[in-house]
Chains A and B, each alone.
Chain A
Amino acid sequence: MFFATDKHHQPVEELAKDDFAVIDDERVIRDFRSFSRADLTKLDVVVLMDSSDSVLPRFRPQMADVLQLITQWPWNQDDNLSIMSFSGLEPHLLCDGNCRNWFDADRVALPPGGGETPLFDALDVAANALIERRQPDIWQVIILFSDGQDTISKHSYADAKEKLLENGVLVYTVDVSEASQPSYGIATLRKIADDSGGRCLSIAEGVDTILNDVINDLESARVVTYIAPQSSADFHAIRILPTRNLNLQFRSRRGYYHHSGGAR
């Protein structure tokens, strides 16, 4: 699955299969088995909220933004939403599976956690939760609200990344820092989003913009399949590049794990 945008990051409506090539494990692939728009049928979303010391002053506004995002999201009947926060020594599952009505003004008023920031542990736990209920026709998405500064995780980012990439989980990161003072962890947030094929956004853009960006993104996704090239490595790095128009930009996860022959 991938996303095509123009040089202004606007989704491209018209895209033909000969407009792009896939670099898979350094090999240029132009011969595709199939190419189509992705059907956005069912979503399984985990919202991860940083509630550690470093974001405490902005935690309540962040909770209010999350509430607004969840309320405005155009959910389908069968979509799943789980909500987790992370602070102290571990992540906390606040609501699992069917949480669209769980979040209300009373929850927003709850006292925040404070303490250390187990960011990568939270990503790992969220990835595990999604993997457990993985089904082929469900898109799995993590929306991470944080300043990107991990301070205490037992897991490394590499642990979580492997699970996210292997299962095609898309991560959108939202930097909760003030616009005038970008977070030291912004590079981490960008990397997490870029590796999965998602996007790094800023809370300063406003919830409406974030929501539009994510929904437009999901609705403009394309799926391409091809025979995976032979390789001695299990991990295939991938990149999508234009064949003619160099103004086209493509986003996808950075790679996938492949243990035997077949299409991806």
Chain B
Amino acid sequence: MNLARSLLFLLCGLPGLLAAQIGIYQHGTVVRMHMGDCILAQRGLMATFGGPATATGQEACPEYTLVSDSVVFVIVGKSSNHLIPLAETIDFRLRKNELAVLIDDAKRETRFTIKEMVVRSEWERMQRHIDEQGGASQTNETKR
């Protein structure tokens, strides 16, 4: 029984441990999070463009904006409680078109569907624009 457990632990934890030791993880910070549509995460990218959506219930999936040195990722969890620990810095790597995040003090990885990827400089430019628009509309409301 113990042997089986040890083997299971090795099989589950080995990829993460090896990757951590090899040092292939990138680092990033989650700056935004909201509960969004689960369809993309549950059925893959084609569901977004494919035929009529089937009922997937009312479940919402967490959607995170993860900012790394050069790229900003928007990633989606596969269920409502598929969460990322929101530490200042998290370790992640790209794996088979998904983003694998190291969690539980680096004991295991959990994978997220990638919804968007934007070059960081472009994302920062868009954020500045959004902030300016937000500031302008607030000023207008105050004047009224």
Contact = CB atoms under 8 A, between A and B. Distances in A.
B87 A26 contact: no
Contact of A28 (B33, B104, B135): B33
B83 A230 contact: no
Given A242-B86, A244-B105, A245-B85, A230 B131 contact: yes
Contacts, number: 46
B61 to A, nearest CB: 14
Nearest to B142: A260
A246 interface: yes
A27 interface: yes
A28 B32 contact: yes
Given A26-B33, A28-B33, A230-B131, A246 B83 contact: yes
A20 B85 CA distance: 9
A30 B89 CA distance: 11
Given A27-B31, A28-B33, A243 B131 contact: no
Chain A interface size, as a band, is: 10 to 19
A43 interface: no
A246 B32 CA distance: 18
B134 interface: yes
Interface in A206-240: 230-232, 239
A21 interface: yes
A27 B105 contact: no
Given A30-B88, A241-B83, A246 B103 contact: yes
A23 interface: yes
Contacts of B76: none
B137 interface: yes
B22 to A, nearest CB: 23
A242 B137 contact: no
Contacts of B30: 28
Contacts of B43: none
B34 interface: yes
A30 B86 contact: yes
A242 B84 CA distance: 8
Nearest to A243: B87
8 contacts: A21-B86, A27-B31, A28-B31, A28-B86, A230-B131, A230-B134, A241-B33, A243-B87
Interface of B: 30-34, 83, 85-88, 103-105, 131, 134-135, 137-138
**Shortest Cβ-Cβ A-B pairs, 5 listed:** A21-B86, A243-B87, A26-B34, A243-B86, A26-B32
